[in-house]
Structure 1
Amino acid sequence: MTDLTAAEQFVLANARLIDRHRLAVLLHGAPADQVVDALVAYRTSDGGFGHALEPDVRCPGSQTSAVLHALDVLAAVDALDHPLVGEIGDWLTTITNPDGGVPTVLPSADGFPRAPWMVPAPDSGFLTYAIAGKLWQAGSTHPWLPKATEWCWTALEQADGVGGYTVKFALDFLDAVPDPARAAAAIERFRPALDGTGSLAVEGGTENEKITPITLSPHPGTPSRALFTADQLDADLDRLAAGQHDDGGWDVDYLHWSPGQALDWRGIATVQALTTLQANKHL
């Protein structure tokens, strides 16, 4: 059984201010404005987000992954109607490639601590899926979105044998894009990549690192749930609940490459675990 008191004590003792505010919204109905105020502190002078908001790129400059994390934070506290979403769209237009996609890691990461897989490169990458999905979820009409959506559909149609986080972010897009028949067909193409538990191995990750069903499809009633049986989802929710450590927190299974990064992710993972368990009536 989940120990909420221990989880809250872990977050208060170890997590970032933004994650402490997120937990207060989740457990105590605190105002979402406090989360937004904490989020604004991570903004950069060019209108993006940086300052290790996404813990694996620890540079002060704007990063695509930090912008996605900002959108995830707004979504978690039902604040995707905030003007920040439109301003994020404006920033995205400054980094978007001619094909409509955005790079995964920008040159501002050079010279700063970062995860070994976070290598600056100009090509459009899989974060485009997740960011476009969040803007669709927000009901955005920003002019950045149609071309990005076109990139997503093209990349999905060309995808062959993809796995890992490409599938995760693609499902985020497909759960939100307002084209249900086309989305359902695309979702079904990922079924062969799943193992018997509904999980995906992460190539090049830590030993036995997997993305499990409740991470691939965290929200009840979304189209991606078609990939999983009720038994697979229930088993994964049980696993998630059982993953609480003796100190009250949860952890991630990918590489801990610095003490600060590891602790930041533990705070995020703890809040996210409680959020997911609550959303799935498993808390």
Structure 2
Amino acid sequence: MGKNEILERAKSFLYKNGRLIDRRRFEYLFEGGTKEAVFSALRAYRNEDGGFGHALEADIRCPESQPVPTEMAFMILDEIGYGDPGLLDGIIRYVRSITLPDGGVPFVFRSAMAYPHMPWWAAERDDVASINPTGQLIGMLCKQQVRTDIWKEEWFQRNTAYIWRAFEQEKPHGFHDGIQWITFLQHTPEQEKAAPYLAWIEEWLQQPGIIERDPEAEGYVQKVLDWAPQRSSYAGKVISEAELNCHLQALIEQQREDGGWGISWEPVGPGAEAEWRGFVTVERLKTLKSYGML
């Protein structure tokens, strides 16, 4: 299948099924669309506290701000190169407000349970810190160069201290923890302190069952291109060029007849499935582009 056909089929799928935010991302990444169009769509998911809700994470349907949808908004800002100080400042304000007394932010707040949600988005308390999504939120705040003043603030240092403690006390439980570790360790200014942890992560990634090496594996597994969605991804250190090529070819073949890519988990409902597939389709196109396949 030619590059143009892959893109055209995906575009058709997105315009039939995708959310405005994902159509705007597609337009920016592949058709010369503007950052402002992405910002405008993203603002619809933001609350007055600066955090994000409103099913930006499509299996958390509550309107209230939640940590993981805010993490997703941050990743979209990073994807397009920032440019809207208000969105970034709001994220900073929200993360500051939900930082727990001993550092860290919760995985999910109980408010998610008042609306449709998948079982893993349930919480009994609002005061339990979790490395997911604290690691990526703080790692991305280390990576961005727009608001470097926050790095010395007490709440930020409290979060950093929590992350280092968590690394000492526990090991990552699979993919979702692993990417939290990697993002923080890659971007913390304390690179000398990070070095032994990164060396350990490199060994951990090579253990059986961490990276799914079979491109046709089914079920909720994280394959080579989930771990290394970009040519610059850290996990690429432990993936051979031959494996990459094999998985890239499989990814092209896994584009469905309707032009989108599927998801590997049960979503909260049919609408959420269409929303997720739109998001994932843009992610798959980004991967193919990064590896020179588009």
- After TM superposition, the score normalised by the length of structure 2 is 0.86
Say if 2:138 is the partner of 1:132.
Answer: yes
8 A Cα contact 1:250 1:266, kept in partner: yes
Compute the displacement of 1:193 (Å): 5.2
Compute the displacement of 1:167 (Å): 0.9
Distance 1:188 1:214 in 2: 21
Partner of 1:199: 211
Compute the displacement of 1:186 (Å): 1.6
8 A Cα contact 2:50 2:90, kept in partner: yes
Deviates more, 1:60-69 or 1:84-93: 84-93
1:119 is aligned, of 122, 130, 151, to: 122
Q: Which structure dedicates a bigger proportion of its chain to helix? A: 2
1:90-117 superposed Cα distances (whole Å, 9 cap, x missing partner): 1111111122100011122121001110
Compute the displacement of 1:275 (Å): 1.1
1:251 is aligned, of 259, 262, 285, to: 262
Compute the displacement of 1:81 (Å): 6.3
When the two chains are superposed, the root-mean-square deviation of aligned CA atoms in Å is 2.4
Distance 1:128 1:222 in 2: 20
Compute the displacement of 1:134 (Å): 1.6
Matches within 5 A, 1:34-53: 34-53=37-56
Counterpart amino acid of residue 199 in structure 1: I
Partner of 2:180: 169
Partner of 1:28: 31
| 1:147–1:229 distance in 2 versus 1, CA, 3 Å | farther
| 1:183–1:242 distance in 2 versus 1, CA, 3 Å | farther
Matches within 5 A, 1:153-168: 153-160=164-171, 162-168=173-179
- State the aligned residue count: 279
1:189 is aligned, of 193, 200, 203, to: 200
Compute the displacement of 1:168 (Å): 2.2
The gaps in structure 2 that reach 5 residues or longer are none
| 1:70–1:106 distance in 2 versus 1, CA, 3 Å | same
8 A Cα contact 2:139 2:188, kept in partner: yes
Compute the displacement of 1:136 (Å): 1.8
Partner of 1:212: 223
8 A Cα contact 2:67 2:133, kept in partner: yes
Structure 1 or 2, whichever has the larger Rg, is 2
8 A Cα contact 1:97 1:124, kept in partner: yes
Counterpart amino acid of residue 43 in structure 1: R
Q: Please state whether the residue corresponding to 1:211 is helix, strand or coil.
A: coil
- After TM superposition, the score normalised by the length of structure 1 is 0.89
Counterpart amino acid of residue 165 in structure 1: H
Partner of 2:11: 8
Partner of 2:88: 85
| 1:226–1:157 distance in 2 versus 1, CA, 3 Å | farther
8 A Cα contact 1:194 1:200, kept in partner: no
Distance 2:252 2:190 in 1: 34
Counterpart amino acid of residue 90 in structure 1: R
Counterpart amino acid of residue 140 in structure 2: K
